[in-house]
Amino acid sequence: MRVRFWGTRGSCPTPGADTVRYGGNTTCLELRTASGALVILDAGTGIRELGRSLVAGANGEAIRGDIFFSHAHWDHIQGLPFFTPAFQSGNDFTLWGAPSLFGSLGVVLRQQMSPVVFPVAFDDLGARMEFRELQSNRHEGAGYSMRAIPVRHPGGALGFRFDAQDAPGQGLVFIPDNELDAAGADAPEASTRDELLAFVRGARVLVHDAMYTGTEYMHHRGWGHSSYRDAIEFALDAGVETLVLFHHDPERTDDAMDEQLALCRQMVEERKGVLDVQGAMEGVTLELD
Ligand SMILES: [Zn+2]
Ligand SMILES: [Zn+2]
């Protein structure tokens, strides 16, 4: 399997010279299984460029794939009205949401394309767009196994784990929005730290919310996001090979991100840990096996 980052930014798109390296588009990842099956994780503004790439590579063939939604906050859905393959008949997408979010997912995706705010209605999209509810937070797809877990985020959100069916244990965990500090956001369904650790353990790559410095976090406790330090400590405890810092704060410039990344790597060294820490970068592809 391999994963490509099309949107790495949290909360709000941030185009401009200061964010060109880590990227200004909001959350969207493309996961490809060994057989080439397409899995899309969230539909922030990064999905627009992904759509262009899919159309360019389709050679007129139908495009089909699964789209998993961690939750329906703006930065995870706002690219969908600009996802070109959704406008083309013959294409086929399954939109997956948690039972707790399921009703609201369809409502919110339609509302963001209601005539007051967008010229084309969701139900006028040319592609087949089928909503499916995740049953028992598990799904067996084309060459991959998916598991989901509720995390700590206002309104509720999911983290996902994907393992290749023929190579379990080399998986990808994607937790874009999560407050690791248990004293943070009030989220009754959130899993405990131990449950999250068990979920992540054995995965090769963890893509996790790392939005704030320690000082910033003090002012944003309860907003549903994690500090760099908490993400590092969690990844070390989970024993993953690679931690990808994700959901960059809109105020974080590329240079500031470099500084935070250096501090994170220093933190790993001080703990005598073994962990490759990266900052999520738009356009980068990671091989998972
Ligand atoms: Zn978000
Ligand atoms: Zn969110």
Residue 199 near residue 159, CB atoms below 8 Å: yes
Supply the range of the domain harboring residue 112.
2-287
Distance of CA 116 to the CA centre of its chain: 28
pLDDT of residue 170: 76
Rounded to the nearest angstrom, the distance between the alpha carbon of 72 and the centre of ligand 1 is 9
pLDDT of residue 101: 72
Rounded to the nearest angstrom, the distance between the alpha carbon of 61 and the centre of ligand 1 is 33
Beta bridge partners of 246: 209
User: Comparing 100 with 277, which gets the higher pLDDT?
Assistant: 277
Rounded to the nearest angstrom, the distance between the alpha carbon of 59 and the centre of ligand 1 is 33
pLDDT of residue 100: 76
pLDDT at 2 over 90: yes
pLDDT digits (tens, 9 = 90+) for 51-103: 999 999 999 899 999 999 999 999 999 999 999 999 999 999 999 998 877 56
How high does pLDDT run on average in the chain? 95
Question: How many C-beta neighbours within 10 Å does residue 103 have?
Answer: 12
pLDDT of residue 102: 57
pTM value? 0.97
Q: Which ligand has the shortest distance to the CA of 11?
A: 1
pLDDT digits (tens, 9 = 90+) for 188-211: 899 999 999 999 999 999 999 999
pLDDT digits (tens, 9 = 90+) for 113-130: 999 999 999 999 999 999
CATH number of the domain bearing residue 57: 3.60.15.10
Q: State how far the Cα of 100 lies from the Cα of 284, in Å rounded to an integer.
A: 32
> What is the pLDDT averaged over residues 42-54?
98
How far CA 252 is from CA of 107, 112, 249, 256, 260, in Å, comes to 32, 27, 5, 6, 10
Q: Which ligand has the shortest distance to the CA of 7?
A: 1
Number of domains in the chain: 1
